């Protein structure tokens, strides 16, 4: 299937001479949730802004559903909804009018039924006649999403959708985004919260210092790069790891009461079954075994550290 967004050889050098993006190549698949991860200043907002036509690229091409964002800007832009990081809604306007007005800006015919549906999907219908200034922060965020959806875009960009949002609201937001994806909208979100990507994304891209360092299916990424640990709780404390178990490079912890074996899926180290056998032969009795898998957060931190 043709990707819904193709970014090829995109670079950006700002007027200050600072190069924020270097030769970005990225394809977004139709109907996916793609999470763009990266530390502060990595270039996430710059990249989104280029695709949305807010910032000019210095070189490269971007097409949105086949429309070039340079030569065919209006067609490309009308397919995109953007929810920026900052709340930028007209404070004295009513919720319903904000959506209706935004739809008009894209040259779309007024459609009260559509506005009603979007507001109901966002649990904002009760607030349709309220002025924005009277709403809570969480509601304002939902209005921003409604505003971005009012012209029925196929693609929704969410720049840090849950920054500064409490845990409860964050979960509501995740459910909402999943619902949009299920309705056929392609979602690209940037986030600092790795947990958010882990929870939501189909694919993950990592950007660091203006370069894409990795793009991968989330589950594949976690399988390939994730480390696992086996923690063996001992019956009797040990003073040192027995020499016979040297190949496992075990760590002794908890005052000698636990042994930790760290392995990954590409490890050349011997497997867990042989470790358990060898523990028995070495006369080390254990009372319990736990496993721990590394989170996307650890994987991400490692990746970003490795980039020069």
The candidate with the shortest Cα–Cα distance to 186, out of 7, 34, 53, 61, is: 34
- Name the one range near ligand ATP by CB under 6 A: 35-43, 193-201, 250-258, 260-268: 35-43
- Name the one range near ligand ATP by CB under 6 A: 38-46, 104-112, 237-245, 275-283: 38-46
| Pairing mode, strands 186-191 and 211-217 | unpaired
Does 86 sit near ligand ATP (CB under 6 A)? no
CB atoms within 10 A of CB 53: 18
> What are φ and ψ of residue 292, in 5° steps?
-135, 130
Nearest distance, CB of residue 93 and ligand ATP, angstroms: 27
Does 14 sit near ligand ATP (CB under 6 A)? yes
What is d(CA 279, CA 233) in angstroms, rounded to the nearest whole number?
A: 12
> What are φ and ψ of residue 196, in 5° steps?
-65, -45
Does 135 sit near ligand ATP (CB under 6 A)? no
Choose between 24 and 150: whose C-beta lies nearer to ligand ATP: 24
Binding residues for ligand ATP, how many (CB under 6 A)?
Answer: 12
Which of 24, 43, 81, 144 is close enough to bind ligand ATP by CB under 6 A? 43
Choose between 55 and 169: whose C-beta lies nearer to ligand ATP: 55
All residues at 6 or more sequence positions from 301 whose CB lies less than 8 Å from its CB, including other chains: none
Choose between 40 and 266: whose C-beta lies nearer to ligand ATP: 40
Choose between 45 and 63: whose C-beta lies nearer to ligand ATP: 45
Which of 42, 50, 98, 139 is close enough to bind ligand ATP by CB under 6 A? 42
DSSP code of 110?
Answer: P
Choose between 239 and 305: whose C-beta lies nearer to ligand ATP: 305
Does 87 sit near ligand ATP (CB under 6 A)? no
Does 266 sit near ligand ATP (CB under 6 A)? no
Which of 4, 46, 156, 304 is close enough to bind ligand ATP by CB under 6 A? 46
Which of 45, 63, 102, 191 is close enough to bind ligand ATP by CB under 6 A? 45
CB atoms within 10 A of CB 278: 16
The candidate with the shortest Cα–Cα distance to 243, out of 283, 285, 270, 273, is: 283
Q: What does 268-306 look like in DSSP terms, one character per residue? A: -S--HHHHHHHHHHTT--EEEEEEEEPPHHHHHHHHHHH
What is d(CA 191, CA 38) in angstroms, rounded to the nearest whole number?
A: 8
Binding site for ligand ATP (CB under 6 A): 14, 16, 18, 20, 38, 40-46
């Amino acid at each position: 299937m043709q990707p819904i967004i193709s970014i090829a050889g995109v670079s950006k050098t700002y007027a200050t001479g600072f190069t924020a993006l270097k030769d970005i190549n990225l394809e977004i698949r139709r109907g996916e949730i793609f999470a763009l991860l990266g530390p502060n200043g990595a270039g996430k907002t710059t990249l989104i802004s280029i695709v949305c036509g807010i910032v000019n690229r210095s070189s490269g091409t971007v097409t949105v559903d086949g429309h070039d964002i340079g030569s065919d800007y209006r067609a490309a832009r009308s397919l995109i909804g953007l929810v920026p990081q900052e709340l930028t809604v007209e404070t004295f306007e009513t919720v319903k009018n904000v959506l209706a007005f935004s739809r008009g800006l894209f040259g779309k015919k007024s459609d009260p039924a559509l506005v009603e549906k979007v507001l109901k999907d966002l649990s904002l219908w009760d607030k349709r006649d309220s002025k924005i200034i009277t709403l809570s922060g969480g509601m304002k965020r939902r209005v921003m999403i409604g505003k971005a959806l009012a012209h029925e875009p196929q693609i929704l960009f969410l720049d840090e959708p849950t920054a500064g949002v409490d845990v409860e609201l964050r979960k509501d937001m995740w459910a909402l985004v999943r619902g949009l994806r299920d309705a056929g909208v392609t979602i690209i979100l940037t986030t600092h919260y790795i947990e958010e990507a882990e929870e939501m994304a189909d694919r993950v891209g990592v950007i660091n210092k203006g370069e894409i360092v990795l793009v991968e299916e989330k589950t594949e990424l976690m399988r390939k790069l994730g480390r696992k640990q086996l923690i063996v709780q001992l019956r009797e404390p040990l003073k040192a790891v027995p020499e016979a178990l040297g190949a496992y490079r075990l760590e002794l912890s908890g005052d000698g009461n636990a042994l930790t074996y760290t392995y990954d899926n590409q490890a050349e180290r011997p497997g867990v079954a042989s470790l358990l056998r060898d523990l028995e032969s070495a006369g080390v009795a254990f009372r319990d075994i736990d496993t721990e898998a590394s989170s996307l957060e650890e994987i991400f931190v490692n990746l970003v550290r490795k980039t020069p």
